[in-house]
Structures are given as C-alpha cells and as structure tokens.
Amino acid sequence: MNTKLKTASVILVLMVIAGSGFLGWAKYKTSIAKVALKPVLVDSVEFNKIDTAKIALLKNVYSKLNLNKSEFLIVGSMTARNGADTTGRLNNSPYVFSRKGTSFYFKLGTTESINAKGLYVYVDHKMKKVLLSKEKEISGFVMPELETILKTVGEEGFQLKSTINGANECINLSNPYHLSCKEYAVRFNKLTLKPNQLYVRLSNAEDPENNDKDNVIDFRIERSSVISEIGAYTARNIVVKGNRGWSLGPGFKNYELINTL
C-alpha cells in the first residue's frame, strides 16, 4: 500500500471505519484520549464570556455533520497535514463518502473503499493494487468530540469568534495551549445552516506544546445529501467470482489482487 496514503490516514477525518487503509487513526485517537481530560498547558489563559446563542447555533450546524446517521452522502475535498511526518500530507484531495446502513463507499484521491454484499474492497489506483476481504463493521465517526469541547469550553480556556463573509458564517473555537484540540472551526451557510467547511487543529499526542507538530485537517464540503446514492458507487465489478474463485473485473486486469478471504 502507498506509504504516503497510509500515513496520511492517521490524521484524516472520515476514514475511521474498520478498514485496512484507515487503522492508523485509531492508534492516534487512543493517544489523544490519554491527554484529552488533562488541564490546559498553562493556567494563565484568560477565560472569555462564551456566547451561549452562538454555542447553540454551532451545535445545530454540527448536527448536520453527524456521520453516524444510517444514510448520507458527502462530496468535497480535503487538505491535511501531519506535523510529525512530512509524508503524511494531502492537498486538496477530492473525496466521496456514501453510506446506507452497513454499506459504504469511500474515495479519497487515488484510493477507493467499497463495503457491501459481504465484501470489503480497497483499491489503490496509484499502486495498482486491490485488496479483497470480508465486509467490515462500521466503528463510527472519530473526530474531536465537539459536544465534549462545548461542555467545558469556558473552563478549558477556549475563545469563541464568529465572522461573517457574504452568505457564510464561521464560528471558531480556539485555545493555542490546549493539550488535544487547539482550534475547531465550522463554516456554514447562514440561511440553510448547511456546513461547507470544517477546520481542526489537533495537538501532537507525544509533543503537544510543539505547534509545528500539530495535525491540521481542512475538510471542505461541496455537496451533501440524506440520500446516499450508494448504488452508483457499489455496483461496480472490481472483483468477480468465477469457477476458479475471485478475479479482477474489466478495467482492473493490470492490477494486483490481494485476496484475504
């Protein structure tokens, strides 16, 4: 598997499903959890008076980003940086994430994952490899828990800032001294309240005071729907089963099949 893509998966947002390409984030999440409940790095942070109306608005907007829903479709692009690993970076990589029940389709850059009909198929178009295994369980969406942050936003020194630019509003929570999440911003349409950008800056679990090692995720949403359109993505003959077992379908003959069934 492409090392750069595998490393990049440690810092991404939507990939935390029980698939082979995205297991690195689970390890990072565990490390973050160890420090998430600790106090801020310094006790000299000046607490501001939190705008409760803006907090309520942020909760409302964020609820539309709930990827634990049984069906949805999100299309956009993502930029991500792993401060501790210069190879773990993505720049405006397009993505598609579709889910309906236990079936899902995920595309990021040159990789695709399909989880449906008892099978999990991971395709790396750059490396020209196809991984085939049993269908995976969806373990949920792993991101800094906004609800947890909002419960302690004042006590943990987060500053709230709201800016308006045309039809969009951006609500930003920041604390440069926090041990786990230093910045959390959501941009959304003021009229529909549909989010169109999520920006997160996470501390490095091993060296949280070093800003240069922060993990940055800039997640842009171009289209979202409560209808998954899952059939358009999963009804592809990447692998086919014949009398001699599984083989690659048309268009993938020059790929390598790694069958772990």
Q: If we measure between CA atoms, which residue out of 31, 13, 9, 88 comes closest to residue 204?
A: 31
Q: Are 31 and 206 in contact (CB under 8 A)?
A: yes
Q: Higher-confidence residue: 90 or 227?
A: 227
**HSE (side-chain half, CA atoms, 13 Å) at 56:** 3
Give yes or no for residue 102 having a pLDDT over 70: yes
pTM confidence score: 0.73
pLDDT at 148: 65
Give me the percent of the chain exceeding a pLDDT of 90.
Answer: 35
Q: How far is CA 95 from CA 13, 74, 122, in A?
A: 11, 8, 15
Per-residue pLDDT tens over the stretch 42-98: 433 344 466 788 888 988 888 887 777 788 899 999 988 877 777 767 888 899 999
Phi, psi of 231 (to 5 degrees): -60, -30
Domain chopping of the chain, boundaries: 3-259
For range 222-227, the mean pLDDT: 90
Phi, psi of 156 (to 5 degrees): -100, 15
Per-residue pLDDT tens over the stretch 129-166: 999 999 988 765 545 456 666 666 666 778 888 999 99
